[in-house]
Structure 1
Amino acid sequence: VFAHNGSSCLSRKATDFSPAYTSTRPLKSREPCDPNSTMSSAARNKSLQHRLRERLNRLRGKSRDPPRDAETHSTASSLAEPSTFAANLDSSSKHATSSVSSISLNQTRDASEEPTTTRNDATQSRVDKGAVLPVAYASGLEKDSSIDDSTLGLGIEVAIVSSDLWSAAYREAVDSLGKDINAAILKGDNVAELFKQLEKIDKEATQESAFLRGVRYLHSLQVPLERFKLALDLATPLTNIEPTSATVFGVVKSVTAIAISFSTADLEFAKRIGEMLEQLSYIDDCDTLGQKTNKIDIHKALVLVYQKLLEFFNAAFEILSRKGAKLVMKMVLENDRLPKIVEDFLKHADDLRKLVQKATWEIVEDIKAMLYDHEIARWLGIGKMSRQSQHHAYLQQIRVDKACEFLLVNAKFINWHQATDSQQLVVLGDMGCGKTVAMAFLIDELRRRNEHQLPQPRICYHYCRNDETGQAVYIFSSLILSLLEQFSGLKRAFFEWYKQVTASGIDPAASFKKLEEWLQKTLGELDRPLFLVIDGLDECDRASRSSLLKSLKNLSQNTSRLKILLSSRPQEEILEQLTGMAKIDLDSDAKRDRLIVEKTVERQLSYLSEDVKPLVTETLSRSAQGSAIWTKMTVDLIEKRGIRALAPMRAFLKEIPQPRQLSELYVNLLSRYTSDDPENQRLATTALEILATTRRPLSILELAWAVAMGVAQEGVLTLDALAKLVDHQRVMSLIQPFVAHVDFNDLRKRQVRLVHQSVQEFIVREWASNRPAQESSAISTLATDHTPVQRRAVNLEAGILDVCIRYLLLDDIGYIDLFSEEHLAIEELPQGLDLFDNDVPNDYDPYCTWEAWEENMIRYDPIERGFGELFVYASCHWIDHFGAISVEPLLPGLGNIGSLCQAGSTRLHNWIKQNCRPDCTIKPRFIFDSTLYDPLSVASLYGSETMLRIMLESSDFDSDKFLPNPAIGAADQILQWGDLPRLKLLMGSKIGHQIRNLDFFRLVMNQWSNSLSDKYRQGWDVVFDLIDDVLDMMVRQRWGNELVCRAASTGCVPIIRRLMDRAQHNAELRAELLDGSRPEHRLIGEAIFGNHVDVVEYLLEQQGIEAHLQHRNSRSENVLHLASRLCNPAMFQHLVPRFKDGVHQTDDQNDTVLMRIVMSPSGSRNRLESARILLSEGGVNEDGRFKDELQETLWVAERLGDLDMCGLLIRIGKMNPPSARTRDDDQMVSKDQTSENEQNTLAILKLLRTHADTGSTPAE
């Protein structure tokens, strides 16, 4: 750019770097130089250098303030102009090309604002801090100035600084010469006197000083002194120069004056002096356009130049110090000392010139790179790169690497990374699951791996967000900026291409097509492997996303070593566009959730105590459910509130409030995905409200049909009419961020659910206050004890209930039978078994799921039967939503419930059949007999108490919608499955008379005694207290005794107690309860027959019970005979002491109680214990008849082979064995040789013989 050899001229145009920096114009061509001129072109180049320095300074200044369009256009034009920097370079100049990396405008600004003080490097440390420092030049040579009119060149200004590169080199030069230089020079002694002598040389003969003669002589030789950077004013008398030789400037100034003065000594010497004066200007350029380079090579070269200047000054000083000034000119050439010094100086100065030119070239390249960066950043967006880098740095800060490492071992990632050709990989995940953080992890992991590869792959990444960063032009601009940053050699090509396209009238920065063309062409020529990483495709608008994916596909097909990594939410439209790409799903993982929670808590809540921190970690880990964003925002909320103590923290975690930032995010997402269109908002909110209240995940089609039903007008009465309103793709696209990942290839899979519990809380809690216009008008009439959230939840339940009921009331469902005859026939067959394989057991597994249990069962399809997509859910779960509504204004109309549950109707049969078959298996999961139900029984079981009360008050139970006796039917269902206290409502209603009878209480007692679990159901006390409502009736209708006997037989102590307690103050009731006219077991007998010891114990405590105790039935059985059937020792323990007379009574078979016990099929232990109680507590009758009975009993026991019973009878019954077992020879033998237990016969004989020898033993 700057220096040309010899007398070559600048013939090309150069860019005018005007101070205004607003326009571009070529310089006027310079006049050709005289071929005989001894002046080189360095002076002209120095002027260009000076202008470049000014240009650089202005660029620095503009880097501090954003350039206006007009100003920056000038820069662009300058770079685009063919006659710019490169065109002015000397083609013969040989120098090393520096490897200069481009720098950003921010870096340029930082560099321009650095202080100019010299760093304490190794070279400058040698400078004497006490030395007087040199002049600093600030302005250049003005054109067309003359010797007479102005100073030649520079307008020198003096600035004293602490240290500089000139002084450092000068001091080193002085130190290197040591004693070879006259000390008087360094001290400045007598130098002014010598200048006076120099002024007088030949002045008497020529009437002109030697200095002026030298100036004139050099001009005559066409040495352009006015173009040189001289250190003195040629118009100033030599005696007024006042040199200070102790400084760099003083030496240079002195040498300049002496050299000009000595130039007249010889022609050749004068030419060399001219060259020497020209080369002096390079001393000023050692700071390379004002840059603080601290280059060692320039410093060393400058030291050598100073050495020669000092040698020249020293030699001249010696010459001038001699006497005889007239001989000075002859002495100049004496021994060729000064000419040799000049030659050496020229050699070293030329070396310095080349080094300065090389450093200047590097700076100019930096300037060009800065200008490229400046323009490219302005075109493509000055903040894109920094914005992306800042976001990446933030993600690095919050990232939990261990929670992302699972991606590295994923087979799809490994295959993608190791492939040698172009590949694409997509990471899919729901909202807030941590996709972006995972992408940041993969970017850094790819960088780490790339460091050890040759050639080293490059990575260009971009994060799309819900703003302009999601637009296709922005994305490609960002990627191109990243690419140019890593491949600086592409900047010039991009710059020229951009200017070329702009010249055609197109703004490339605003044209995705043009950016795509350049990127495709550039990547096609790129040999190095490249990774393109784009996060958040779902954040892009549809047009941008489509253009981007199409372009990436083309890039992948045309670039051999391109790897593309994308991430997105799994939206249907996006998945269709990503067909063929490998995909990784970020599913919820409890282990990963815990890692994220632990790291987040440790980073933000490290101040928590050791007992509080584990509580937070454990609770948030359980609730995270794969939502990293919920975890982060909840921890932020804890940090913001500053909760520290255990109890407040536990209270906070029990009811974790919704973070405000999360609610704002959901609001913004809903607004964006619905485009703020009212109709879209209506569909989206309906869908989300349904999902917030469903009892199970819906299929895509179920949700779409539910939404269509929810927004349908009243005129939609058939399934065909409703089907025309269904648009599942639209619904799913509107709510996609709020639902978990779904498989769009299976529209009937039950998979659609809200992505996180926080979304449900947002729908219920936030919309309760944020959407008042959409609330039902009935909400204002709700009870005051309902909070806004509770009212909102009830309103949502009412909404989905209305959808279900309206759907089930469609005409088709009322006249089409769900099951065909074929289905009914199949229902009778075994399900889930191989009918020809007897080796496969059908064992019930209590731990398996219903889905597993029904896996191989035969199924039916309601849709094929014409019931539509929502029939299964509506049939199975409308009753769940029905029971959740207790607010009267929101309850469904009685007419709708009546039509839906009309007794014996096809509609009722259809939805009940489906209700007990949730997965559409032919075999029902549980019994649900539709013939037993009507609107009242359904409302009694599944409706709220409010609903039941309204139905009992307002319904016409004589209509054909109800069963003939609706109250007893409803009561039966409540007793089996329902809420027991509702029976009180039923009995107190206008149809309560239907259950104020014995049949109702039989149902009550049968259900109570059905199983142990039934006894522990809540609400039995309310039911038993209903006995108070029928006391008078049972006395009048004479069914009180039957009731208490039934209670005794079932063991229903609560009813017996209530009846007996009430009878203490009611003689008529008492007489009715203890009526002895029943021919059978009567009261105690019923309890014994049912083996209810507690009932017997309680009844024996009642007054007037003796008649029942002594009662004998038609078979002459007393209560002890009845007790012998089961031989419950506890029963005999209560009865025998109270009824000893009954011990010896016989039944119609002439069997005593003891005989009945001996022959009882009960267990041996119970028989023995019962016999022992009977013999011990009942007393032994000593008359001969009783002894005969005992001997007969012993004989029966012996016949039965009951050794233990024989022993008991002998010991306690005081039997005489010889009287029972004797022969004619008085030997004991068995009375009956046909014992049923022959193996005990010998033992029994041995027992009898033993007792015969010793006599009967008393009872033990």
Structure 2
Amino acid sequence: MSTALSLRRNSDDLWSDAVAQLNEELRNFIDFDRLEKQEIVSELLKQTNIGIQHCKDKTWTFQREKSGETIIVRDVLGKVVKWIDHFKQIGDIVVQYDPGHAALPWAGVRFLLEIATKDVKTFASVVENIPLIAELICRSALIEELLLRSLSPTADELRQALVLLYVRVMDYLARARAYVLQQRVLKSLSLATSDLDESFHAIAGAQENVDRCFNLASVQANLERHEELKSVLADFQAPLNRWSEQLTKITDDLDAKKRTEVLHWLSAEPYLQHHEQAKEGVLEGTGQWLLSDPVFLKWKEDSASSMLWLHGIPGSAIKNLNGVRSVVVEDALRAYLDNRGPQSPPPAYFYCSRNPAEPGRSDPKEILASIARQLSCVGPGLPLLQPTVAKYREREGEAFADKSLRLQETRDLILQLAKHYPVVVIVIDALDECNPATRRQFLNAMESILRDSSSLVKIFVSSRDDQDIVYKLQEYPSFELSSDRNRDDIAKFVESETNSMIESGAMLRYSTRKEELRQRIIEEVTNSANGMFRWATLQLQALCDLSSDAAVRERIGRLPPTLEDLYRESLEKLDNYQAEADRKYARRILGWLLCARRKLNSDEFLTAVSIAVPSGGLLTKAQVLGLCHNFVIFDQALDTFRFAHLSVREFLEKQVAYASSLINAWAAEACLLTLIGQADDDSSTHLPSEWNDPLDGNNKMAS
């Protein structure tokens, strides 16, 4: 008899072999169901779908004993359905595989599901483990099929490892059945929850042994030759489908104009444009380490409502160069826009910013209102969800439709809207830029949404390590954006930017050793960046100002170690422009960005800064960026100039020449002169001498 035939005969029913190895007391609890083998899986699928519907009606949830996280039972059952469907798919593809062989474990799953879901709080741990057992049964079926095809001499070791794994699974299922029936079986088998947990944890060790033997048995080659099984395995890795067709059936009686009016009443923050600006200049492939991080994957896939906190050093999350700040939003959007159809509702997100010209971007009330607006409809132009329409009409009936909701009212609205979604994903970027005096209110609201929502809620927060944020979020799952984590991103960015600058002639334009210096620049800047994109950016820009190879080598040998050193160096260059007009323009550009109390479009901003030089004409966008290229960027999405990074604002606020009293005095002067029509004259003739050119380091107030 050939090895293949021997293996086929010996692996016909590994589950029965496993049951035979249990002691008699446990075997007595294996008689889960008297249904025919072929009926088990279909009945389980039917029962699970009924359970999902009950979850929608009854909003079943329970708290994890240790963490206190809220588990959404509907999501747990959705995972069971996923693995049942995959198991049936294997049976359809593989003629030789008999799904009836796994009838025993599926019957155990069915029994536990039926009993435990009647009292989810009592049997919480059992309910949460059911999808993991279902996944194991499904994956093992695929391994069994590959085992039957293998001629490897080590395949028998894999077979033995599978049987041992099945013993552990059946041991757990038998003990779990005893546990849920303990009122009747207390005399014959008394089980504590700890015993059940120990039995479940033993499965993990057996699974590791199967994985080791799988690699040694060389059955991977069999998978490569079977395209359909490869497709099934790829589906195994896909996230759970958390879309509801009910979201496509939402109706309202509003026309397009009224919908826009309602949404604008909730929030006028241009969140779509903020996202476009965050993506601008992102280097392809950066930030992907985050999506594969085990902590992130657990947060994303877990059936518990949870918050994940990404925190890092200043300068590590530069807006327009690092993919991390937008990668989570893009990942969630891809799930919604999947070619196979939506896999998950679109995320709600907000990019905070400490910018007086955009006060809503640091106001907790406005941030929460924007989240509510995004949850009010599944997509642009689509009908609004009933809770938002009802709240607007309530305000309209009270003749207060022009008044915005209070923070607590918005929180309550979000909880009502969440009931319509299988999952709500909320992404908050740069929480540290939210108003420190009031952001605790925002965090309290987020925590209450996590705690009170009957739907699954996933909240992702990024911030720097401000102490009040650390105190509030330190107990949540988190990871630090350290130099170790994003080193590859830094390396890709530095190499890409260096190559681009050299090709454009901005860097090493006169060099006779371009390749040698290119390699050294990439190596030195990457190694010294310590996780800070902003620092790397400024170093590369500084190298563009050098003409000789010797100067480049000298600069590389003594790179300024901190962001503040680099900013100080850049500011000195602005202050030392040869022409007084350029010095004035540069100071006014930075001054206006510091003191503006509303967002200025490009035309308004160019007009305002051009007042600095009488009869000097109107500056262009290119001239503004050229004068302050290390400090200022242009936001194409919102047609406005802004600081390149929060650290720029923080640096300038420490400088005496840019003290708030000085820049506000100059701004007031410019506005007054514009109003009285004398802005084209030399402004120094219209105000007391101590106010003349308050941004000039030589005036009395600045000194």
Task: State the TM-score, normalizing by the size of structure 2.
Answer: 0.39
Higher strand proportion, which one?
2
Task: State the TM-score, normalizing by the size of structure 1.
Answer: 0.23
